[in-house]
Amino acid sequence: MIKERNTKQKTVILSAVRSAKIHPTAEQVHAMVLADMPNISLGTVYRNLNHMAELGQIRRISVTNSPDRFDGDLSPHHHICCSECGEFNDRFDLPYDKSLDTLAEKKTGYKITRHETVFYGLCKNCKKSIKN
Ligand SMILES: [Zn+2]
Ligand SMILES: [Zn+2]
């Protein structure tokens, strides 16, 4: 019974992260899965997310001055974050620089699997409201 419940929790949480385009925080994932599992606690959601990130099923993204976010899209891509309103988006149009991985391998002796870049700045809306 417990095993079945855990499997359902995993399935629902994983599909919530994958379908969300907002790179949700654990709290946002919790809010999304409550419709399917009204009794699930934030702690359980958090544990599941961490476990999935360790298994490589989703990615955890650390964001300066705000809670970690989770990404269901595993393809290499960059992110952009507005430091004013916290908007957080994918940028598939910015090139992934493979030569940086090669350089990091040379310098560190690591076998590099990937790198991630988060660009910080002001989104169009915040840029406008700050000018006025
Ligand atoms: Zn903004
Ligand atoms: Zn992303």
Is pLDDT above 70 for 113?
yes
Provide the percentage of residues in the chain whose pLDDT is more than 70: 97
Q: Are 122 and 84 in contact (CB under 8 A)?
A: yes
Residue ranges, comma separated, of all CATH 1.10.10.10 domains in the chain are 1-72
Domain 1-72 has CATH 1.10.10.10: yes
Amino acid code (one letter) for 57: Q
Condensed to tens digits (0 to 9), the pLDDT of residues 7-40 reads 889 999 999 999 988 899 999 999 999 999 999 9
Backbone angles phi, psi at 86, to 5 degrees: 85, 5
Q: Which residues surround ligand 2, an ion (CB under 5 A)?
A: 71, 90
**What token pair was written down for 125?**
């809306």
Measure 86 CA to ligand 1 centroid, in angstroms: 6
Q: Residue 27: count other Cβ atoms within 10 Å of its Cβ.
A: 12
* The CATH fold of domain 75-132: Dna Ligase; domain 1 (3.30.1490)
CA dihedral 120, 104, 100, 17 (to 10 degrees): -50
Measure 62 CA to ligand 2 centroid, in angstroms: 12
